[in-house]
Chains A and B, each alone.
Chain A
Amino acid sequence: DVKVTQSSRYLVKRTGEKVFLECVQDMDHENMFWYRQDPGLGLRLIYFSYDVKMKEKGDIPEGYSVSREKKERFSLILESASTNQTSMYLCASSPVLGANVRGYTFGSGTRLTVV
């Protein structure tokens, strides 16, 4: 089974801190994604990456940045954490979508609380 591992299950950070959320996948997938999940809003795409050192903005990139220095690792960075960034963050990976690919594999999520 594909494994997508997020480094922390729960995090509590202070307003203004720089926060790193790490995600590692072990199946050589080209694509990696960061979503945040909020009640009533579903999953919203923050950033994604098609390849090493490549990144694309999703629908809600403000206040976030990403890094993909190695194919298996995709990091989400909150430059200066704010309380409105309190959320569940989900990482996902997939091969290049095509006829034989079935969606994403998700990590277990990181519940971030900014106080």
Chain B
Amino acid sequence: GENVEQHPSTLSVQEGDSAVIKCTYSDSASNYFPWYKQELGKRPQLIIDIRSNVGEKKDQRIAVTLNKTAKHFSLHITETQPEDSAVYFCASPGGTGNQFYFGTGTSLTVIP
């Protein structure tokens, strides 16, 4: 199946700084890449996604970039706030295309 690698596993930033989380994938046919945020004790929730026909997508303080040639995509959070503290997962479709393979997660801590 698809192999998704995510880095770093933990990340601490000062409030107001930026955070970047990177993922690589193996299946060149993958064409959709969602990012999920999981707050402590809660379910993962989709926060942003990108399709392979664009290179960047922004939604307020978060953005995702995609480099299809290099098979990697990144989550960028600017002006971080304490409520951004959570575990973030990237994902890529694989197999028949109806299931996702997830990265191992990044635990982000924003220090006030």
Contacts and interface: CB of A to CB of B under 8 A. Distances in A.
A99 B1 CA distance: 21
B6 A102 contact: no
Interface stretch (B61-69, B77-85, B89-97): B89-97
Interface residues of B, number: 25
B111 interface: no
21 contacts: A31-B98, A33-B99, A42-B102, A43-B105, A44-B102, A45-B99, A45-B101, A50-B98, A59-B1, A96-B98, A97-B93, A99-B51, A102-B34, A103-B34, A103-B36, A104-B34, A104-B100, A106-B36, A106-B43, A106-B44, A108-B42
Interface residues of A, number: 25
Given A59-B1, A97-B98, A102 B103 contact: no
Given A40-B9, A42-B104, A97-B93, A103 B49 contact: yes
Interface of A: 31, 33, 35, 40-45, 48, 50, 58-59, 90, 94, 96-97, 99, 102-104, 106-109
Nearest to A108: B43
Interface string B32-51: 10101000001111100101
Nearest to A44: B102
A74 B61 CA distance: 36
B70 to A, nearest CB: 22
Contact of B91 (A40, A41, A103, A109): A103
B94 to A, nearest CB: 9
A40 B104 contact: yes
A90 B98 contact: no
Contacts of B100: 103-104
